[in-house]
Amino acid sequence: MTKLCLAVVVAATAFSGVALAAEKMEIACRVEYFKYCPSVVPGGGRIVACLNRYRSHIGNACKESMDAWVIDNKVRG
């Protein structure tokens, strides 16, 4: 039972990190998303892929949050 509880806590922590990175990216990239990628459906990294095509036009906060999201997703698998 203890192992199950630990597994649930670890999984929740991992998910919350990814969710936090996604939330930060959503806030930091909101203007860029609506300007460059309004028809892109969220999920599967499609928004990040779209925004990367316009990387030279987006703000530093958006770039940094996208980079953090990519790192979090690679680490979490």
Whether the pTM exceeds 0.75: the reply is no
Distances (CA, A) of 52 to 4, 9, 16, 37, 38: 39, 33, 24, 10, 14
pLDDT value for 52: 95
Lowest mean pLDDT among 15-19, 22-26, 47-51, 66-70: 15-19
Which two three-digit tokens encode residue 20? 């936090």
Provide DSSP, 43-58: STTHHHHHHHHTGGGS
d(CA 48, CA 67) in angstroms, rounded, equals 9
pLDDT of residue 18: 57
C-beta neighbour count of 33 within 10 angstroms: 19
Q: Looking at per-residue confidence, does 43 or 53 come out higher?
A: 53
Mean pLDDT of the chain: 79
What are the residue ranges spanned by the domains of the chain? 2-76
- pLDDT band with cut points at 50, 70 and 90 for residue 77: low
